Amino acid sequence: MSQKKTRYHIYDTVRQDPEQVTEFKRDPGKAIRASLRKKKKSKKPVIVCPDEADMTQQVNEDERTCYLDDVISENVGWIRIQEKTFKRWMNEHLKHRKLEVEDITEDLNDGLALINLLEILSHKSIGGHYTKRPRINAQKMENIVLTLNFMKGEGIKIVNIDSTDIMQGNMKLTLGLIWTLIFNYQIAANLRDDNSGGGPKKKLLNKINQKLKPSGRKATNFTTDWMDGTLLACLVNCIAPGLIPNYAILNSDDKVENTRLAMDLAETWLGVSKLLAPEDMASTSADDLSNMTYLSGFLDCKVKEGAPVVYPNRAICRGPGITGVGLLPGKPAHFEIDASKCGAGDVEVTVIGPDGSDPVKVEYAASGDTPGIYTGTYHPKDEGEYTVNVTFCGVDVPKAPFKLNIYGDGPRNKLDLSKVKCEGPGLTGEDILPDDKAWFKINYLEAGPAEPKVEIVGPDSQPVPFTVEQDGKGEQYVQYKPPKFGMYNVAINFGGMPLPNSPYKVKVTPQVDASKVKISGLAQVVRIGDSPVFNIDTSAAGDGKLEAQIISPSGKVLKHIIDDDDKGHHTIKINPSEVGTHTINLVYGKVPVPHGPFNVKVRPESEPDKVKLEIGMDTIRLGKPTSFHVDTSEAGNGDLKLRILDDKGNEVDVFQDITVGGKTEYTFTPTKEGTYTIDASFAGVPVIEKELKAEPRLKLDKLNIFGDGLNSNKPLKVGEECKMTIDASRAMTGAIKIREKDPSKMSADHDKADLELLVVGPDGRPVALEIEESDEGVFKVAFTPDKAGEYLFVAESEGVAAPKCPINLKARGLKSVKIYGPGVEPLGNICGFDTHFIVDAREAGEEKLSVDIAGPGTGEFKPQPTIMEQKKGLYHVKYDQSLHNNYKVEVKYGDEKLNKGKPFKPKVHTHNVGAFNASRRRVEIQVTHMALEAPESASVDDYIDLNLKFAQRFKQTASVCGTQPPQVKVLGPNNKLVDTKTNVKDSMYKIRASPVEVGPHKVVVRCADSDLVYGAFNNMFNITT
């Protein structure tokens, strides 16, 4: 709550006039009248703040104001008194939640104080979600709206008050709102059983006057009657007799002292909080609402144990000096006064003779060993009526003053007491139970001219009321109800003298054995809304009637239902609607059941503030399951909703165990470092907001993993060791334990490592690791891939992966790649025909295959290979051999060159002409360069011009081919010759062809004298229609 002190502003129509402001300090009414007479032009009201230097702050029309007549009549102090009283009333309730309001114009504007106050007063949850730490106006407004809606739901009428007034600190309307709460929850609650008519103010006044009745005083209002403090002192003494025994002689001029005395004693012994300052109640500005708030606390107050109170109504007076029986003029009149149960105080006895004569001398003193018992004597001189008055602490005892007649010679001497006949169970006690009608008859027709007088005293020495019916023929019918078991004394006097057998001893005894009554199923604690049922077995206690009385904390008798089976088995069902301890009184056969009364504590339907979070830590381990308990055993009925949020507001998975005895265990595992919040509500009310900080034992962000083996751009090699380094020296203090995460090598749960490493091979199985600490906190890690494919490296601590993990690695088994086929062999390739070879990389892992081919000579001729993957990892490569002689074929799998980095060197031969005789020599013509220029396409019957240029050298000439230049032939789709005309000049061929078929054509260069082929250009041009 706000620490700022309260500032009291008085709002009126004082104009902005420095002279009148000064005058206002001395006489507010005079200052206002003077300001009104001046009629200045400004129409804005002005705040007059006596506690500030600037006395003239202007405010808007909607600012709070106080009425002019209040100020003029010098009642301006009521605002200050009312604000103080209402604030103290609020704090009396809020202290139970350790809250305090210091300024009602500021401390209520966020709605939190009102929410807590309403929950305390109503014994209910406010319901709905509210902001516990409102920072912006929208949140404050929502809280206040929630309180106003709750009040409407409680049936409280709210007039001309909205949330804006409270948030802006409107003093007048805020006081009105608090008064509404006081009236509904304190005053009206104590007036519900009053059907006397009139308004609440009149009813409250009637209740107060009922308390004042023993004193004979009466209150007519809530202001001036209470100003001198004597009426308040009288009220305190009436509730607790003897607490202020001198209340009747207090000096009314000492009004503040009188009020302070009464308030102090009321607070100490009656529990009535001092909501008002004595000076405020004694002030001429006394506020009736403030006084009503304070005085309503006396309606249900109770005297505390040990209070110095007295009880004059418990005094018992007896003897002929009190009753007049047998007294004669001039003879001593003896009496006895029993004030042993009245408390500490003085007894005073006075006797007044006939016709108001001088007081008769009375002698009396304490007697016996029992304190409070007095015996005394006085001597009546004359005949006539005497008045005997007995007081205790200045208060008349029951039936006082006593009136008695003394005769010198009268009817008493002519009476025959033996002829008075008395009979009936009321004198024997036969078959009489408490609260049953006990009766007896007195027949005195022949006993003389007198009337019987009856006095019945119960076991506790208290008089028992009775009724007398007179038949007018000398017979009386007396009836009484004994309230309890015990011995009763029935005294019957006739003509002032006791009958021979008087007093009659009447013993009222139980007819059942209540000790054998058995009670089961009586809960010690129940909730509002529950309908508890308990069992009572009276089958072994005798015949009797079971009676029950359930009393609520406010003293109301609750309705209940008793069912029985006529065999002594009973069930009692109650429906409590009030919070507090309920008292159950059980009586069987008029006998209280032993060990009673029985108490049942009724608590609110739900008490969200009783929900307890049991967790012994604020910091939790990352990756480790965290368990805690939520105890709702004392919270009543309601649903517990719990969630755990990470620092980004995302919900975390929570495992909920079974609930035992109101306790529920929850478990969650933090998966990342940061703050986790346990957020819980019960019956719709937020109850838990606990922050936990998740930290790893090993700080992974300080962990450094490096090494060539982790370079994803440099694949691993099957069979070669992969090495890496883990530097954890800055990630953790103390000894660090790193191990391989392998189920077959896992240690017990209590021996977990700080960092676990795992490498998973292509087949999904873990790969063995070698781990060695090379320096403090620095580890060397190595493994050897045994097959090609994808490997996965993971480093984790408590289930949380290290940065950059998992790391994907590739291993290649290039040694397992097989390449075979004529396309890479030195023999078996014929010029002019396609060749091929196979690449089998099925055991080498998944990589890209690339093939680069360079033709004979300078290598400018580069056939383009065709690569087909027949199966995964099995490739078929085909390429064109248009020229004969040596080729270079380079094969790469991934980034690695196969064949130990060297190219394959297949040799392309000319067409096979068979074996030569020994006399013949083989001619080898090597075409070192040959280029063909041709259009890509042409139409049928068009001329096609081709240009062929080549260089040749003959290693050896022979008659096989002669020395003629090669011939150039054009072949159609079906290898049919196309008519050509050839012109040769300086190794330049100009050929004109006349194609007649549609489709691809090729050019073949042959030996002029044989069918040796130097080269072929396949699909050089295409003929279309």
Q: What is the pLDDT of residues 669-690, one digit of tens each?
A: 998 888 999 999 998 899 999 9
Distant-in-sequence, close-in-space partners of 884: CB < 8 Å, separation ≥ 6:
831, 856, 908, 909, 910, 926, 927, 1013, 1014, 1015
Q: What is the pLDDT of residue 859?
A: 64
Return the closest-CA partner of residue 635 out of 619, 612, 654: 612
Determine the Cα–Cα distance for residues 913 and 1009; give it in Å rounded to an integer: 12
Q: What is the pLDDT of residue 561?
A: 85
Residue where the block lists tokens 């309705």: 559
What backbone phi and psi angles, to 5 degrees, belong to 104? -70, -20
Do 258 and 228 touch, CB atoms closer than 8 A? yes
Do 826 and 905 touch, CB atoms closer than 8 A? yes
Determine the Cα–Cα distance for residues 179 and 187; give it in Å rounded to an integer: 10
Q: How many CB atoms lie within 10 A of CB 748?
A: 6
Task: Take residue 153 and report the two structure tokens written for it.
Answer: 């739901």
Determine the 3-state secondary structure of 480 from DSSP.
strand
Determine the Cα–Cα distance for residues 822 and 838; give it in Å rounded to an integer: 9
Determine the Cα–Cα distance for residues 286 and 171; give it in Å rounded to an integer: 18
Return the closest-CA partner of residue 185 out of 277, 89, 290: 89
**Inter-axis angle of helices 171-182 and 77-94, to 10 degrees?**
50
Q: What is the pLDDT of residue 953?
A: 43
Determine the 3-state secondary structure of 268 from DSSP.
helix
Task: Take residue 760 and report the two structure tokens written for it.
Answer: 């998973």
Task: List beta partners, residue 871.
Answer: 874
Ranges of the chain whose pLDDT falls below 50: 1-18, 20-22, 24-26, 28-29, 32, 36, 39-75, 410-413, 747-750, 912-929, 952-962
DSSP assignment of 235-261: HHHHHSTTSSTTGGG--TT-HHHHHHH
Determine the 3-state secondary structure of 278 from DSSP.
helix
Do 214 and 395 touch, CB atoms closer than 8 A? yes
Determine the 3-state secondary structure of 478 from DSSP.
strand
Task: List beta partners, residue 807.
Answer: 793
Q: What is the pLDDT of residue 73?
A: 36
Determine the 3-state secondary structure of 822 from DSSP.
helix
Do 236 and 263 touch, CB atoms closer than 8 A? no
Give tens-digit pLDDT for 299-338: 889 888 888 888 887 888 888 788 776 678 888 989 999 8
Own/partner pairs for 247-250, CB < 8 Å, 24+ apart?
Answer: 247/215, 248/215, 248/394
Do 714 and 812 touch, CB atoms closer than 8 A? no
Three-class SS string for 502-541?
A: CCEEEEECCCCCHHHCEEECCCCEEECCCCCEEEEECCCC
Task: Take residue 224 and report the two structure tokens written for it.
Answer: 């001036």
Q: What is the pLDDT of residue 86?
A: 92
Do 432 and 482 touch, CB atoms closer than 8 A? yes
Q: What is the pLDDT of residue 471?
A: 67
Q: What is the pLDDT of residue 421?
A: 92
